[in-house]
């Protein structure tokens, strides 16, 4: 079993490999200031995170399958 830090690095490397493998300049850190987003987070809590959800509609909900 790995240490948590080693495992985290492996996870990041795996994601990078899946995305094409080229390391690029990182984007700035994310700072969440949206109150509506923070409220939504409070509602969702610690849900399982693997399977993808249905993508969001854009710009508004249109016809669906």
State the residues that interact with other proteins by CB under 8 A.
Answer: 1-2, 4, 6-8, 10-20, 22-34, 37-38, 40-42, 44-59, 61-65
Residue 15: CB minimum distance to other proteins, A: 4
Q: Which two tokens stand for residue 30?
A: 């994310």
Pairwise CA distance, residues 26 & 38, whole Å: 24
Residue 21: CB minimum distance to other proteins, A: 10
Residue 58: CB minimum distance to other proteins, A: 5
Asked whether 38 and 32 are in contact (CB, 8 A), the reply is yes
């Amino acid at each position: 079993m790995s240490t948590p830090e080693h495992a985290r690095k492996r996870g990041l490397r795996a994601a990078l490999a899946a995305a094409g493998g080229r390391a690029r300049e990182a984007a700035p850190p994310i700072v969440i200031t949206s109150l509506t987003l923070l409220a939504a987070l409070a509602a969702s809590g610690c849900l399982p995170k693997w399977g993808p959800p249905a993508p969001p509609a854009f710009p508004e909900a249109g016809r669906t399958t």
